[in-house]
Amino acid sequence: MPDDAQESGQDGAVAERHVLTVEAEEAGERIDRLLSRRLPDLSRARLKRLIESGALALDGAPLRSPSAKPRAGQVIALAVPPAAPPTPEAQAIPLQILHEDEALIVVDKPAGLVVHPAPGNPDRTLVNALIAHCGPSLIGVGGVRRPGIVHRLDKDTSGLMVAAKTDAAHQGLVAQFAERRIGRQYACLVWGLVEPAEGRIAGNIGRSPRNRKKMAVLSRGGRPAVTHYKRLAVSASGAVSRLLCRLETGRTHQIRVHLSHAGHGLLGDPLYGRESASRRAALPAAARQALAGLGRQALHAESLAFRHPTSGEEMAFTSALPRDLRDLTNFLEFL
């Protein structure tokens, strides 16, 4: 087992120091691979950068080669500098937390909360909130004390998100997303009678050539995207369908773009909604009033499932419709 201690760097900052002895069965193994197994909170990529920067000594001698293969009984000493202060400011913003441990945090994001600082939204984001909430438990990603955002929800989409608190957890979750092993389902309300009742929408998504603020399904270019949907109910007027969508890929605005392309834009979506006066007129009066006050697209990330990147445990979370979408659903009088 590694001997963990704290030591001061040249600038006075405290670094975490790991000292461990190479076991017989580890002899001849690459040192970065050996350390990634013995120190699971650090990803192999992070360890490689640390070794190359001179943070490691083997039997007291500096070693900068991640591919070096130590002998049994040799002593490895690794000094990990403290995570750099985050660029986004820590801001105390209330969060609905469904799960938190030393590796990750699962939150139920409200509509209106931007995920990451960007031009136009420099602060008051989910990232600012996570930095404030997690504090010292946020070990950081890539040597910076910030949460690892592995997927995003649009500002006006509510629902479940997972973020990594360590470099290794971030790498593990990114790999699961890349391998399409993360389960994500979304509840939504769309215009029109969706037929067939269950299906698959496939179409490359990229920046719209007509409006650079929008994404679009493209015949050339873009990135492959697949959305699976199931119609759960139809309103009494036939004007609105309630769907459950499952993402096979995760492109920007994917559900909004695919459903709009199929002629069934989301209710309340100002960018892709395909809303019209005749469609609104077909709704019950209470539903028209609820839709007018919605102020966002009727889309909610209601379930999230993944394998814990550290323990390997299968994890699953669900989120009930927030009140604004629940009221609109009730007023639509679904059969």
Q: Among all chains, which residue has been given the structure tokens 């939504």?
A: 188
Segment 109-124 shows an average pLDDT of: 88
pLDDT interval class at 216 (50, 70, 90): very high
The CA distances from residue 9 to 14, 55, 98, 222, in Å, are: 6, 11, 37, 47
Q: In sequence order, which ranges of the chain are alpha helices (DSSP H)?
A: 31-38, 44-52, 126-134, 167-178, 254-261, 277-281, 285-292, 323-331
What is the percent of the chain with per-residue pLDDT over 90, rounded to a whole number? Answer: 74
Q: Burial of 291 by CB count in 10 Å (0-12 exposed, 13-18 middle, 19+ buried)? A: buried
Given a cut of 50, is residue 1 above it in pLDDT?
Answer: no
Kindly list the structural domains of the chain, giving each domain's residue range(s) and its CATH number in brackets, ordered by start. Answer: 3-80 (3.10.290.10), 97-178 (3.30.2350.10), 183-331 (3.30.2350.10)
Distance between CA atoms of residues 217 and 271, nearest Å = 14
Q: Could you tell me the pTM of the whole model?
A: 0.76
> For the chain, first and last CA: distance in Å?
61
156 among known catalytic residues: no
Segment 55-75 shows an average pLDDT of: 95
Strands 158-164 and 299-307: what pairing? parallel
Beta-carbon contacts of residue 127 (< 8 Å; ≥ 6 apart): 88, 115, 116, 117, 146, 147, 149
- Would you state the pLDDT for residue 67? 95
Given a cut of 90, is residue 141 above it in pLDDT?
Answer: no
Q: Which of 8-22, 37-51, 89-103 has the weakest average pLDDT?
A: 8-22
Task: Return the bridge partners of 108, or none.
Answer: 160
Distance between CA atoms of residues 27 and 130, nearest Å = 41
Q: Which of 13-17, 56-60, 276-280, 281-285 has the weakest average pLDDT?
A: 13-17
Name the DSSP letter for residue 4: E
Distance between CA atoms of residues 200 and 262, nearest Å = 11
Q: What is the pLDDT of residues 33-47, one digit of tens each?
A: 999 989 887 888 889
Choosing from 154, 156, 167, 269, the catalytic residue is 154
The identity of residue 179, as a single letter, is: E
Strands of the chain (E only): list them: 3-8, 14-21, 56-58, 61-62, 75-80, 97-100, 104-109, 148-149, 158-164, 183-191, 198-202, 205-207, 215-217, 226-234, 240-247, 299-307, 314-318
- Would you state the pLDDT for residue 335? 82
Q: What is the pLDDT of residues 77-95, one digit of tens each?
A: 999 887 666 568 889 999 9
Beta-carbon contacts of residue 197 (< 8 Å; ≥ 6 apart): 230, 231
Distance between CA atoms of residues 16 and 36, nearest Å = 16
Given a cut of 90, is residue 119 above it in pLDDT?
Answer: no
Segment 321-327 shows an average pLDDT of: 97
- Would you state the pLDDT for residue 11? 43
pLDDT interval class at 289 (50, 70, 90): very high
What is the percent of the chain with per-residue pLDDT over 70, rounded to a whole number? Answer: 92
Q: Contact, 261 vs 203, CB < 8 A? A: yes
Given a cut of 50, is residue 266 above it in pLDDT?
Answer: yes
Q: Contact, 98 vs 107, CB < 8 A? A: yes
Given a cut of 50, is residue 8 above it in pLDDT?
Answer: no
Mean pLDDT over the full length of the chain? 90
Q: What is the pLDDT of residues 170-209, one digit of tens each?
A: 999 999 999 999 999 999 999 999 999 999 999 999 999 8
Number of C-beta neighbours around residue 149 at 10 A:
19
pLDDT interval class at 260 (50, 70, 90): very high
The angle subtended at Cα 126 by Cα 122 and Cα 128, nearest 5°, is: 60
